[in-house]
Structure 1
Amino acid sequence: MDLSKMKNDKKLYLCRWYYRAGFAFLPFLWCVNAIWFFSEAFRKPPYEQQKEIKKYVIMSGIGAIIWTAILTTWITIFQLHRAEWGATADQLSFIIPTGIP
C-alpha cells in the first residue's frame, strides 16, 4: 500500500488500527507500524494528524522493543535450562527431542 496516496485522516486511522491490533499479542504489527509510518511521523512536513501518528509510532516502537527483549530472554532461558526442567519442559515443547537411541 502506498501511503502517499492516502488522505491524512486515513493514515491516522490505519496507524491507530495497527497499534491497537498489536495488543492482541501481535508485536509484529507494532514493528510494522513503527517502520511503515516512521517517515510520515518524522520526515514529512507538519500536518494536523501528524502529532497523533508520531505518538502511535513511538509507542509501537517501544512495544516492539519490549516484546523482542521478553521473547529473546524467554527463548534463551528455555534453551539453556530445558533439560533440567524435565517433564515440565516436555509439556511446554512443541517438538520433543528423542535423544540418543
Structure 2
Amino acid sequence: MIDVIAIIIAIASVLAALGHVGYLALLNNAAGKRAGGAPVAQYVRSRWAIAGGTTAASLLAWLLTSGGPTLDILAIIIAVGSGGVAMKSLQSTQTKYRSGG
C-alpha cells in the first residue's frame, strides 16, 4: 500500500516540477519575442537551476519507488520536498509576471 502512495506522490511531484519548467519555457519564449524582454529573460535564466533541480529530485523520487518500503518512505520525503519547492517557485514566478485582471 505504501508503494502506491509513494508512486502517486512522486508522479504529482514530477508534474509540479514539469509545470514549473514549462512555465519558464513559455515565459522565456515570450520574452525573446518582445522588445524589452531582456529583464524577464534574465530572470528566467536565474530560475533554470531551481527548475532543473526540482525536476531531477522528483524523477529520483519516482525511481526510488521501485525499491522496498524504506525507499518508498524516502521517495515520499524527496517528492514532497521537491514538489513543494517547485510549486512555490512556480507561484512566485506567476505572481511576479501575472498580467491582466
Fold shared per TM-score above 0.5: no
Identify the structure with the greater helix proportion. 2
Q: Quick check: which has more Rg, 1 or 2? A: 1
TM-score (norm 1): 0.41
**Greater RCO, 1 or 2 (C-alpha within 8 Å, sep 6+):** 2
Q: Could you state the TM-score of these two structures normalised by the residue count of structure 2?
A: 0.41
